Chain A
Amino acid sequence: MTRLVAILCTAVLASACGPPVTRGAGTSFRPDYDPLEPVNRKIFWFNDQVDAYVLEPAARGWNRITPDRVQRSIGNFFVNLRFPIVTVNDLLQAKFREGASDVGRFAVNTTFGIFGFFDPATSWGFEEHVEDFGQTLGWWGVPPGPYLVLPLIGPSNPRDTAGLVADSAAGVTPFFVDRFILLGARVAETINIRSLMLEEIEAAESGSFDHYSFVRNAYLQRRNALVNDSTEAPASNGNDLYYPDLDQE
């Protein structure tokens, strides 16, 4: 409960930063803004090593012994546990309909979906929503700030990093669960996700020329789309993106 209060306080603070009208931080969107690039590249390289030598091998091992169906179920289980984060952030963005739907989704998947291992809710009309506190801050007009690569965590920015901290406070962490078990769960979750994405990540790595800028661009575009709840290329970016000759004049 104290956590929830803390989150709400943060939200109030955040709302003081800007009116909700400037959704998605009205400033023009730049998928390359990276003043900290030299440092970021080093951390990116470090993360890449961790992935190549620890995470990917672990995921490959896991993938070998675990059928896809089971991996998906485990993935569902962890997604279901994100329910408080998603719902709180629905509400903080005044998305009451989505919030209600996500409560229903959690109820259905926890019961009929057997502790969240299955996802009957989607086919019953409770669609999954992707919300987190970083998006909430963006929705209230907080600009993302410069691109950051965090050790072990990966692409981020000051706004999303603050969001990450708030989200971890809202996660399901009952007091009686030992912190080492929680850590173990995080590790299992990460290996499982990595395992579900072996092919995609390999394709992304082999398809890119400069992997660092590939990831940066994909992260910034994707986060921008999530904040604006849109799957479209950012409008403010449209002129430059599709008419590169126009702004030369």
Chain B
Amino acid sequence: MTRTMQAMAGLAITALCLWSAPAVAPAAEGPRAVVEATTDAVLGVLRDGGLTADDKRHRIEDIVYTRVDFDTLSRLVLARNWNTLTEAQRADFVHEFKRHLSLTYGKSVDNYRNERVAILSEREEARGDWTVKTKIVRGGPDDIAVDYRLRQTDGTWRIIDFIIEGVSLVSNYRSQFQEIMAHGGAERLLELLRDKNAKGEPLKS
């Protein structure tokens, strides 16, 4: 089971990275600058001893909400299924999915143990997206590789995927949601999301 655990741990640790992104961005910021500003701002909040865990969660939420392109991320997660949703369902999905990520990863605010983020390199992808490679520094073999995929919309670079040790968040959620939509359709998926968010905690499917 060791390997499962490794893979799962990698994904779960998305926590620290997803909570990575800041407020107002000047239009000229390139992908690397966006990732840098994002991680700096989040680390700043995490390190602020004067804030309660709740304060931290809210501030990080603000940062992440401006830095991550949740519309695109949601569309990528649903892939082909996106086209089968009505306008209202789409808006609903983006809203609930955002909320879900916030609830899931917000919990790990308390798990911050002085990790740093090192920005390693950046690269342009085939159709104009950029990937910025970073590493969460926890000491030696415990470092975690996190790549950010960014896309430019209306002149602003925003994050559309997090790839943790080779595991893409978009791909991972896509697999899960495809399974759910194949059996219960969009309404079932939205229902699961709403339930889970309402409870603010796990829900076994």
Residues of A within 8 A of B (CB): 31-32, 47, 51, 55, 79, 119, 122-123, 127-128, 152-156, 160, 190, 193-194, 197, 199-201, 203-219, 221-226, 230-233, 237-244, 248
Given contacts A193-B2, A200-B13, A241-B170, 19 further A-B contacts (CB under 8 A): A119-B141, A127-B140, A128-B141, A152-B1, A197-B8, A199-B111, A201-B5, A203-B107, A207-B202, A209-B176, A219-B7, A230-B166, A233-B163, A233-B166, A239-B126, A242-B161, A242-B170, A243-B127, A244-B75
In the complex, what residue of chain B is closest to A244 when comparing beta carbons? Answer: B79
| Chain A residues in 8 Å Cβ range of B178 | 32, 213
Q: Which of B3, B111, B172 lies at the interface centre, i.e. has the most chain A CB atoms within 10 A of its CB?
A: B3
Is A154 a contact partner of B12 (Cβ separation < 8 A)? no
How far in angstroms is the closest Cβ of chain A from B185? 14
Assembly CA distance A119 to B196 (angstroms):
41
Is A232 a contact partner of B166 (Cβ separation < 8 A)? yes
Assembly CA distance A79 to B142 (angstroms):
13
Assembly CA distance A190 to B6 (angstroms):
12
Q: A222-B165, A242-B149 are in contact. Are A213 and B179 (CB under 8 A)?
A: yes
Is A209 a contact partner of B1 (Cβ separation < 8 A)? no
The 10 closest A-B pairs by CB, nearest first: A225-B166, A122-B140, A206-B202, A231-B145, A217-B175, A244-B79, A200-B9, A218-B7, A154-B4, A207-B104
How far in angstroms is the closest Cβ of chain B from A151? 10
Is A241 a contact partner of B171 (Cβ separation < 8 A)? yes
The size class of the interface chain B forms with chain A is 35 or more
Assembly CA distance A192 to B127 (angstroms):
45
Is B192 a contact partner of A218 (Cβ separation < 8 A)? no
User: Could you show 6 A-B contacts with beta carbons less than 8 Å apart?
Assistant: A201-B8, A203-B12, A217-B172, A218-B172, A222-B10, A223-B3
Assembly CA distance A193 to B139 (angstroms):
18
B186-205 at interface with A (beta carbon < 8 Å): 192-193, 196, 201-205
Is B141 a contact partner of A122 (Cβ separation < 8 A)? yes
| Chain B residues in 8 Å Cβ range of A156 | 3
Is A203 a contact partner of B104 (Cβ separation < 8 A)? yes
Is B166 a contact partner of A244 (Cβ separation < 8 A)? no
Is A197 a contact partner of B180 (Cβ separation < 8 A)? no
Is B1 a contact partner of A154 (Cβ separation < 8 A)? yes
| Chain A residues in 8 Å Cβ range of B111 | 199
Q: Which of B140, B167, B177 lies at the interface centre, i.e. has the most chain A CB atoms within 10 A of its CB?
A: B167
Assembly CA distance A215 to B7 (angstroms):
8
| Chain B residues in 8 Å Cβ range of A55 | 1
How far in angstroms is the closest Cβ of chain B from A32? 5
Q: A231-B147, A244-B80 are in contact. Are A51 and B201 (CB under 8 A)?
A: no
How far in angstroms is the closest Cβ of chain B from A226? 7
Q: A152-B1, A154-B4 are in contact. Are A206 and B201 (CB under 8 A)?
A: yes
Is B175 a contact partner of A31 (Cβ separation < 8 A)? yes
| Chain A residues in 8 Å Cβ range of B172 | 214, 217-218, 221
Is B8 a contact partner of A218 (Cβ separation < 8 A)? yes
| Chain B residues in 8 Å Cβ range of A244 | 75-76, 79-80, 82
Assembly CA distance A15 to B161 (angstroms):
36
Is B1 a contact partner of A225 (Cβ separation < 8 A)? no
